[in-house]
Amino acid sequence: MRLLMSNYEFPPIGGGAGRANLNLLREFAGRDEITIDLVTSAPQRGFAVEQFAPNIAIHKVGVKKKNLHFWKRSEVGEWLIKAGFYYRKLLGLNKYDLAHAFFAFPTGWLCYRHAAKIPYVISLRGSDVPGYNTRLGLDYRLLSPVFGRIWKSASAVIANSAGLADLAKRFVDDIDIGVIYNGVDSVGFFASAEGKPADPVRLLTVSRLIGRKRIDLLIEAVALLKQWGIEVRLNIAGDGNLLDELQTLVKQLNLGEEVNFIGLVEAEDMPAVYRANDIFVMSSAHEGMSNAMLEAMASGLPIVTTRCEGVDELIADNGIVVNEFDAESIAGGVKQLIEDGQRYLAMCQTARKRAEEFSWAHVAEQYLDCYRRLLANAGAGG
């Protein structure tokens, strides 16, 4: 089969959805049964084609981006216009069996415009689901009719967690929404041999520094732990438009020694970053399914997180989920783990075992099954 894939985010641009797309391509690389053209973005204007594998080409439609991890509306509009022309060009040059868009919007708009020519699959990733991102409240209201048409015209709509599927059903309740979880590289990410936390305990979060991630709550939790006489160090890996604001908060709370902004970390260096820490913390208001949390689990780190989409599938005896969305609850969860060494070690072991249940190979097979089923139905006239 020949597949026309699209994603407006792809490393180095964006976050988890781009990395998920990259890992899916790695699983499809070299497979005789599938050929893929991916239309995506680049951080400089222009067009480029990269041969990812003998059967996979990546077509990069460039825009001038100020921040690799934050999209301005003007940047989204510029990419959508340019990618639209390029998408049509590829449709004219090649015969595709199926299209697959990561994000229902803006990427899914490309598929919707050509639905008469080629059936398409939508992978919901989070921000393309109304109600997921508070910053996009106005956008959701304005674009809701467009979102509805894109979803209902798709041959399949797939969320990356049951929680995200439930959120999507609140928006459009008369279509089936499947679930295919994210995966993790449990070979590249592996547990440290130390087996006990350092002193002071090292907390890690890996995140875009944007409003939905609520990194401010983690910083405030560190301040509370300090007040309680518990020494921790919070390492924040990532970048985003709130960096200056968060650094100001650290100064205001006098946490210069306790909070460290690592910045962007190259993908090949991330396994070592996880192994150099003791507990993974997350405070997101919404997630699809956190790639960073899966990587932390594969690295043997117990989790302390706020409740959001994707958490129920990942956290059982390997972490603490706090139901109150505040700094005190997060600090309390961290305190429980630090003060109960036996529980901490048990969660480290369970985290790794649970991560091994999620593989990108399995994700790839589930998507291939979806593609085959849709094509078989189309061939049968169903």
- DSSP symbols for 104-139: TTTHHHHHHHTTTTS-EEEEE-STTSTTS-GGGHHH
Do 330 and 364 belong together in one domain?
Answer: no
Residues 63 and 143 in one domain: yes
Q: Is residue 214 part of a domain?
A: yes
Q: Are residues 154 and 23 located together in one domain of the fold?
A: yes
Task: Report the domain count for the chain.
Answer: 2
Same domain for 367 and 350: no
Considering the domain boundaries, does residue 55 fall inside one?
yes
Q: Which of helix, strand or coil describes residue 25?
A: helix
Query: Residue 242 falls within a domain, yes or no?
Result: yes
For residues 365 and 237, state if they share a domain: no
Helix (H) or strand (E) holding 328: helix 327-339
Q: Is the pLDDT of residue 348 over 90?
A: yes
How far is residue 108 from each of residues 80, 159, 330, measured CA to CA in Å? Answer: 10, 14, 36
Higher pLDDT, 131 or 280: 280
Question: Does any domain span residue 263?
Answer: yes
Whether residue 206 sits in one domain with residue 108: no
Confidence of residue 129 (pLDDT cuts 50, 70, 90): confident
Both 111 and 174 in a single domain? yes
Mean pLDDT value across residues 338-361: 92
Using CA atoms, how far apart are residues 171 and 194, in angstroms rounded to an integer? 46
Give this prediction's pTM.
Answer: 0.80
Please report, for the chain, how many H helices and E strands are present, in that order: 13, 14
Quote the pLDDT of residue 133: 66
**Residues 44 and 139 grouped into a single domain:** yes
Same domain assignment for residues 140 and 224: no
Cβ proximity of 189 and 298 under 8 Å: yes
Place of tokens 């962007």: 264
Name the CA dihedral angle for 76, 77, 83, 84, rounded to a multiple of 10 degrees.
140
pLDDT of residue 380: 60
Quick one: DSSP state of residue 372? H
Q: What is the mean pLDDT of residues 115-133?
A: 86
**338 and 370: one domain?**
no
273 and 312 inside one domain: yes
Asked if 133 and 153 touch (Cβ cutoff 8 Å), the reply is no
Residue 289 and residue 160 share a domain = no
Token pair, residue 282, equals: 């997350």
Decide if 232 is inside a domain: yes
Whichever domain contains 338, its CATH number is 3.40.50.2000
Beta strand 56-62 with 98-102: parallel, antiparallel or unpaired?
A: unpaired
* Residue 191 within any structural domain of the chain: no
Q: What is the pLDDT of residue 336?
A: 95
Task: Give domain status of residue 192, yes or no.
Answer: no
Tell me, what's the pLDDT at 311?
Answer: 84
Single-letter amino acid code for the residue at 255? L
pLDDT (average), residues 19-25: 93
Q: pLDDT-based confidence at 374, cuts 50/70/90?
A: very high
- Pairwise pLDDT comparison (69 vs 113), residue with the higher score: 113
Average pLDDT over residues 236-263: 95
Note down the domain range covering 373. Answer: 2-183+359-379
* Percent of the chain residues topping a pLDDT of 90: 70
